[in-house]
Structure 1
Amino acid sequence: MQLRDALDDYKRHTGHATRFPGERRTVTGRFSGGDGRLVHVDAGGEIRDFGYPLTGLTGLVRSRVGLAVGRDVTWLDEVATEQRYVGDTTLIETVHETDHGTVTRHDATIGDAHLTRATIDVGDDGHANVDPADLSLVVYARFAPDGRDDRVGQLRYDDAVEVYHDDEHDFLASDTGFTDLRGQLPATFPELLDDTPTDLPRDRGGDRYEEERLSGEVVVDAPFEEGVATVGTLLTDREETTREAARVRLDELFADLDSPDALAAAAGETIPSVPESVPSRESVVADLRVLSLLSAESGLRIAGPDFDPFYATSGGYGYTWFRDDAEISTFLLGADARLGLGLGDWHARSAEMYVATQRPDGSWPHRVWPRNGSLAPGWANARIEDGPEVDYQADQTGSVIAYLAQARAAGVDAEGIDESLVAALAGLDETLEEDGRPVVCQNAWEDSVGRFAHTAATFLEAYSELALHGDGLDPDALDAEGDLDPAALPEDLAGHARNQAARVYDALDDLWVPERGCYALRETPEGAIDDRLDSSTLALASAHRSFDALGGDEVAGDGAGDGGEETGAVDAERLDRLVSHVETVVDGLARESDEISGLVRYEGDGWRRAGQLSEKVWTVSTAWGANACAELAVLLADRDDPRAAEMTERARELLAHVSPGGTLCEPTSYLPEQFFDDGTPDSATPLGWPHAIRLATVALLDDELPQFADRAIADD
């Protein structure tokens, strides 16, 4: 997205009730990709690239596709349209009904190339009498090579045009050649300053000779042959791909992918094959599709497509956060083990990148670029810069430790896991206070500081997983010349992790609020208890399940192991508190309107409300509620506690809200980050985190709580 586009959108949507001006939204339409580029095909057919964080190439920033009869153009974004994914692939089919016939498009992103194959069916059902030979596909495309919309040039060939600035060279080509090709300059200064938005492309002008060559904007006509026209775009780096090789690549793609079936086969290669026997298969396929789309070749993922690159209303989404990414990895690891999804390569790539991006102090930075793991813009890098120590998100390190420990136990093939875990344990110890709770730092939502229950939950889970899977870790793996002191660690690291887990477990009592029957959101930097309900505190359920696996007789600590005949480390009083906490949070954050049902993020959340007076519903929070109820149900079932059935039922009810057909799951199969009460989706779409939680919860319910399935069916 260029500044001109942001200003144009600002003009169009200033004052809108649910649209924030200056953004490029993806709440409609679908994405194709998963092996390089990330391309959005809007519901009206507009194509845009969103893959810069994944590949470093900007590509296509605006486009329109139309049907021409002579000089008369019908833009397909102005006619009735239907869109769907083809099977379990990322091939997108869009059907446009025009006065001249039905145009059926198939869009597929294959590596750094994107193909649009259009067929025209004139038929005999009342369309205007048109000779198919007079029809052509019109494509308006604006490229921004190297992220630039100035100092851009074009090179033209018989069947292609090359747009370039310096390193990035972008190609637009047609399988049937071009009958017309013209350029145009971006919106001019007077147009930018005008109160009304500018409709593009403009009509052909004749007073600017340089307009034809000195811009990233082109308009081409591609003729139909036997009712078919195919255009393709290819993004290249000049040091890696010559222009001759680029043109050959496009020719080969046109020749090899000359049918919808061939496109579907190519577009399905990046998504794991899901067995027909998998429960909730439609949901599982959608989750794996989304997580494939958001992944770079490195294995790191963007949080979601970056709808707000100018930070007009957010801090951006096209980066890797280690909290989100590591939790996604953990959810995938568990789901794979239960459902047999064959994600071994995914697990290994994630582990390798976490090892590669770890800092010398054992922590991980705030945000990185997923394509290479280099530091990305952020505001929580206190452990890198000389800023306030509170500007650090300690939960990120806890989340990565939990994944790496489980990956180690699962035999994930990645070098350096042991060394990384030793350093991470030392770094985690540095951020645990004497009272057994984490230091003052930023929270999971990145909008306040304090000593958070959620951060404590990630520490409890990290220490517990290290205790469970840390046998054989050697403190001498620390580099004596690094930021951490090997002598500060005991010889028995697994035993040390057990003791640390027990300290965190006991210290959580400091955040218990008996008046509300829940754990507090945080202790403020001033020492006050903030007892608001917060969906992030639902992480306590899975953290306690990890701790429980240590066994009551083996864990040190005042509160652990006092449960009589219980074999787990979670005692009876703590289990009662957990049940009360989860029920209180789920009930207290529940919101229902005529259009949607789900959980809000936390009490008093004022972000992106626009004109809405109350908090918005979040898919992450709703999915988290379902997962927490399921995790707690397993704990209860292990003790033959009758509350397990009710907790399982709550999990299924919340899961239904974010499942296909639920009010928070779009017809595209995507989970947007947020919803307004009127049902309007908002913010990053799709968001990877809730898709991973949904996948893990489906697997957990099927694998560990099948005994309650009959009750859910009977209740329905």
Structure 2
Amino acid sequence: MQLRDALDDYKRHRDDRTRFPGERRTRTGRFSGYDGRLIHVDEDGSIRDFSYPVFGLTGIARSRFGVRPVDSSVEELESQTAWFDTQSNRQRYHEDTALVVTDHETEYGTVTQYDLTLENIHVTHFDTNGADASLALVAVIGFAPDGRNTRIGQLHHDDAIEVYHASETDYLASATGFERVRGSAFGGFAELLDETPTEYPRAEPEKSYDEDLLSGDSLCVIPTSEGKATVTTLLTTRATKSRKAALDTVRTATAYDGGALEHAAKKQTERSVSSDLPHADAIATDLRVLSLLTGRSGLRIAGPEFDPYYAHSGGYGYSWFRDDAEISRFLFDADRQFDLGLGDWHTRSGAAYAETQLDDGSWPHRVWSFDTTLAPGWANSRIEGIGNEYQADQTASVTAFIGQCTDRGDVLERALDGLDDALADDGRPVTCQNAWEDMSGRFGHTAAVFLEAYAASAASNTADLTERATERADTVYEAIDDLWVDERGIYALREYGDGHEKRGTLDERCDSATLALANAHRAYARIGDIDADRLDRLVSHVEQVIDELWHDGSAVSGLVRYEGDRWRQREQPHEKIWTVSTAWGAHAAASLAAVLTDHGDERADRLAETARELLALILPSGPLSLDTGYLPEQVFDDGTPDSATPLGWPHALRTATIALMDEYDLLEEQPVTADG
């Protein structure tokens, strides 16, 4: 997203009740891309690269497609073009692949669009045979090589265009060549500052030929052959591919038609999910989403980068070790239950964690998923050597995964060193940042993940580490009761930490992150005994937190993040519902039901029912899931999705919850539907 796009969006949506102006949203449309570019295909057929965080190249910043009769004159281009974003559209995935199929009902008839990303190539094929007239394709595509929107040049050929800056070069090719092509330069400062949004493409510019070619945007009229046309784009760098080789590659890819794309998509799909599995549609969607969000290194970004200018957030297109390791652990659990064939994913994750571990055994705030280098962040005090701006739960989450499913004893030993260094004498983690990255203190969630990390390490039977990890797990287990709030029957959000005027007192609010205590105790039960008092407190905590954070909006229901959360509310007076919090509630209830079942405790049935009710809200048929099956991070009361879409964390939680409930036969009853 370029600044001009952000400003244009700001002009369009600055007074909107549920849109944050200046963002590029993915609340509609679908993504395509495995182990390469990440392309968003909106419902109107427009395509954009969200590739930089996973691939390291920028690519397409904006686009628009339409059709016009073949006998239209140049002067009639605007008046005769039926732009797809002004038409009725229907979109779907082709079976269980990442091939996106969009049907456009235009004034001339039906046009079908196929989109598939193949590593660094994206293919867009159009079939106009459903139309009543002979049509030509009109395409406007704007590239941003090296993330630039200025100092860009174009080279035009009969059937291809090169757009370049310094390192990155982006290529566009047409199977049927170009009937007409011109660059499309943007206006000057006055246009950027004008309160009126800019139309795209701009009207025929009154600019010289050379100015027109010093931009990243091209307007192309593309003839069809037997009613079909294929457009391909390629992202590369001068260092990795010569111009001749790149042109040959992008031209060769134009041979794909609809049938060839369906075949390529099936071949590309890593694995299929058996229809015999419970909620197979949800699991298939979750695996597709997590594949889409995986970068070259094997690490996953939190979600598509919708806010690159940090206008309303701190960015999402990075790999957090908390999110990624939690996803890895959830996938490992699901794979163990359902035999999903994810062994290569687990191996790749373990290798990436080993590569990124710091000398002190901890992990940094966030890294780029395309090469694991340090990414912009604000919680790197372990690297800086001063302060407590460090998210200790991230290191604990990675440690839990390594202890659970790898044989990397060297990495695990250093990770335990890092955890021990962040453990205070009273048995709980020291002052640090929380999972939501908006507070400092000594958090219930951080203590929960430490307990799980030590328990998983102890259960790994790694030589010379079992006794040490068991001792630490016992210590944290005992210390967790320091956070108990008897009046509310919950474990506190945090104890106020160093530097806070309330240091040493408890923040007694409910926090959905503390629901992690349920699964942490399930892990601890493998190496230690959970006493009756602790079980009573866990039951009270999970039920009270879910009850207190439950919110009925006008169109949706679910759990809010924590009491008093005011982030990204826009005009809404109440905290927003979060899919990850709702999914966490379902997983926590299922985890505690599993623990209670193992103890022969009849309260397991009550928790299982709660798990089913919450799970129903995030299943593909539930109100918090979009028509695509995607789970957005947040939802307004009126049902409008917001923030990163799809967000990887709740997708992994959804599959892990299904697997856990299947393991303990908690899915016997039909889930509660959205309206009943």
Q: TM-score, normalised on structure 1?
A: 0.91
Which of 480, 487, 491 does residue 519 from structure 1 map onto? 491
Letter in 1 for 2:306: F
Residue 699 in 1 paired to residue 676 in 2? no
Structure 1 residue 269, shift from structure 2 partner: 1.6
Structure 1 residue 261, shift from structure 2 partner: 5.3
Question: d(CA) in 2 for partners of 1:204 and 1:267?
Answer: 42
Residue 102 in 1 paired to residue 110 in 2? yes
Question: d(CA) in 1 for partners of 2:89 and 2:371?
Answer: 38
Which of 383, 393, 396 does residue 394 from structure 2 map onto? 396
In the superposition, relative to structure 1, how do residues 689 and 522 fare at CA in structure 2: closer, same or farther (>3 Å)? same
In the superposition, relative to structure 1, how do residues 30 and 211 fare at CA in structure 2: closer, same or farther (>3 Å)? same
Larger CA deviation: 265-274 vs 668-677: 265-274
Q: Is the 8 A contact 2:172 2:250 kept in 1?
A: no
Letter in 1 for 2:548: G
Aligned residue in 2 for 1:53: 53
Aligned residue in 2 for 1:556: none
Spell out, residue by residue over 1:370-393, the C-alpha distance to the aligned partner (whole angstroms, 9 max, x if none): 1111000000000111442x2000
SS at match of 1:140: strand
Letter in 2 for 1:438: P
Aligned residue in 1 for 2:24: 24
Q: Is the 8 A contact 2:397 2:449 kept in 1?
A: yes
Aligned residue in 2 for 1:560: none
Structure 1 residue 264, shift from structure 2 partner: 5.0
Spell out, residue by residue over 1:470-498, the C-alpha distance to the aligned partner (whole angstroms, 9 max, x if none): 431xxxxxxxxxxxxxxxxxxx4211111
Letter in 2 for 1:251: R
In the superposition, relative to structure 1, how do residues 88 and 446 fare at CA in structure 2: closer, same or farther (>3 Å)? same
Aligned residue in 2 for 1:481: none
Q: Is the 8 A contact 1:305 1:684 kept in 2?
A: yes
Structure 1 residue 609, shift from structure 2 partner: 0.3
Q: Is the 8 A contact 1:600 1:616 kept in 2?
A: yes
Structure 1 residue 645, shift from structure 2 partner: 1.2
In the superposition, relative to structure 1, how do residues 22 and 648 fare at CA in structure 2: closer, same or farther (>3 Å)? same
SS at match of 2:305: coil
Aligned residue in 2 for 1:570: 530
> Which aligned pairs between 1:580-619 and structure 2 lie closer than 5 A?
580-619=540-579
Spell out, residue by residue over 1:515-535, the C-alpha distance to the aligned partner (whole angstroms, 9 max, x if none): 101100000021110010000
Gaps of 5+ in 1: 412-416, 473-491, 552-568
Residue 662 in 1 paired to residue 634 in 2? no
Structure 1 residue 711, shift from structure 2 partner: 7.9
Aligned residue in 2 for 1:296: 295
Aligned residue in 1 for 2:582: 622
Aligned residue in 1 for 2:273: 274
Aligned residue in 2 for 1:82: 90
Which of 668, 672, 676 does residue 709 from structure 1 map onto? 668
Residue 539 in 1 paired to residue 512 in 2? no
> Which aligned pairs between 1:302-381 and structure 2 lie closer than 5 A?
302-381=301-380
Question: d(CA) in 2 for partners of 1:20 and 1:611?
Answer: 11
SS at match of 1:64: strand
Q: Is the 8 A contact 2:68 2:81 kept in 1?
A: yes
SS at match of 1:672: coil
Question: d(CA) in 1 for partners of 2:308 and 2:28?
Answer: 18
The share of aligned pairs that are identical, in percent, is 56
Spell out, residue by residue over 1:323-377, the C-alpha distance to the aligned partner (whole angstroms, 9 max, x if none): 0000000001110111111011111110000000000000000000011110000
Residue 671 in 1 paired to residue 631 in 2? yes
Structure 1 residue 44, shift from structure 2 partner: 1.4
Q: Is the 8 A contact 1:634 1:705 kept in 2?
A: no
Spell out, residue by residue over 1:547-577, the C-alpha distance to the aligned partner (whole angstroms, 9 max, x if none): 11114xxxxxxxxxxxxxxxxx111110111
Structure 1 residue 218, shift from structure 2 partner: 0.4
Structure 1 residue 84, shift from structure 2 partner: 0.9
Structure 1 residue 275, shift from structure 2 partner: 1.8
Aligned residue in 1 for 2:649: 689
Question: d(CA) in 1 for partners of 2:558 and 2:327?
Answer: 21
Which of 129, 142, 163 does residue 121 from structure 1 map onto? 129
In the superposition, relative to structure 1, how do residues 428 and 627 fare at CA in structure 2: closer, same or farther (>3 Å)? same
SS at match of 2:545: helix
Question: d(CA) in 2 for partners of 1:678 and 1:87?
Answer: 31
Aligned residue in 1 for 2:447: 456
Letter in 1 for 2:401: Y
Question: d(CA) in 1 for partners of 2:525 and 2:130?
Answer: 66
Letter in 1 for 2:658: V
Question: d(CA) in 2 for partners of 1:62 and 1:470?
Answer: 53
Structure 1 residue 276, shift from structure 2 partner: 2.3
Q: Is the 8 A contact 2:186 2:202 kept in 1?
A: no
Q: Is the 8 A contact 1:456 1:508 kept in 2?
A: yes
Spell out, residue by residue over 1:290-345, the C-alpha distance to the aligned partner (whole angstroms, 9 max, x if none): 00000012110100000000000000000000000000000011101111110111
SS at match of 1:116: strand
Question: d(CA) in 2 for partners of 1:78 and 1:152?
Answer: 30
Aligned residue in 1 for 2:218: 218
Structure 1 residue 710, shift from structure 2 partner: 4.5
Question: d(CA) in 2 for partners of 1:591 and 1:264?
Answer: 45
Spell out, residue by residue over 1:586-623, the C-alpha distance to the aligned partner (whole angstroms, 9 max, x if none): 11100112311110000000000000011000000000
Question: d(CA) in 1 for partners of 2:254 and 2:13?
Answer: 39
SS at match of 1:709: coil
Gaps of 5+ in 2: 498-502
Letter in 2 for 1:533: C
Structure 1 residue 206, shift from structure 2 partner: 4.2
Structure 1 residue 407, shift from structure 2 partner: 1.3
Aligned residue in 2 for 1:239: 239
Larger CA deviation: 286-295 vs 229-238: 229-238
Letter in 2 for 1:403: F
Q: Is the 8 A contact 1:323 1:395 kept in 2?
A: yes
Structure 1 residue 121, shift from structure 2 partner: 3.1
Question: d(CA) in 1 for partners of 2:631 and 2:357?
Answer: 30
Letter in 2 for 1:448: M
Larger CA deviation: 71-80 vs 697-706: 697-706
Larger CA deviation: 209-218 vs 687-696: 209-218
Q: Is the 8 A contact 1:108 1:267 kept in 2?
A: no
Aligned residue in 1 for 2:471: 499
Structure 1 residue 52, shift from structure 2 partner: 0.1
Question: d(CA) in 2 for partners of 1:509 and 1:674?
Answer: 31
Aligned residue in 2 for 1:428: 419
Cα RMSD of the aligned pairs, angstroms, is 1.6
Residue 652 in 1 paired to residue 612 in 2? yes
Letter in 1 for 2:426: D
Q: Is the 8 A contact 2:159 2:177 kept in 1?
A: yes
Q: Is the 8 A contact 2:560 2:581 kept in 1?
A: yes
Letter in 2 for 1:12: R
Question: d(CA) in 2 for partners of 1:225 and 1:214?
Answer: 31
SS at match of 2:402: helix
Letter in 1 for 2:399: I
Q: Is the 8 A contact 1:105 1:118 kept in 2?
A: yes
Aligned residue in 1 for 2:500: none
Q: Is the 8 A contact 1:109 1:267 kept in 2?
A: no
Structure 1 residue 268, shift from structure 2 partner: 5.6
Letter in 2 for 1:401: T
Question: d(CA) in 1 for partners of 2:130 and 2:582?
Answer: 47
> Which aligned pairs between 1:149-160 and structure 2 lie closer than 5 A?
149-160=149-160
Q: Is the 8 A contact 2:561 2:581 kept in 1?
A: yes
In the superposition, relative to structure 1, how do residues 234 and 267 fare at CA in structure 2: closer, same or farther (>3 Å)? farther
Q: TM-score, normalised on structure 2?
A: 0.96
Structure 1 residue 35, shift from structure 2 partner: 2.0
Question: d(CA) in 2 for partners of 1:251 and 1:143?
Answer: 18
In the superposition, relative to structure 1, how do residues 267 and 674 fare at CA in structure 2: closer, same or farther (>3 Å)? farther
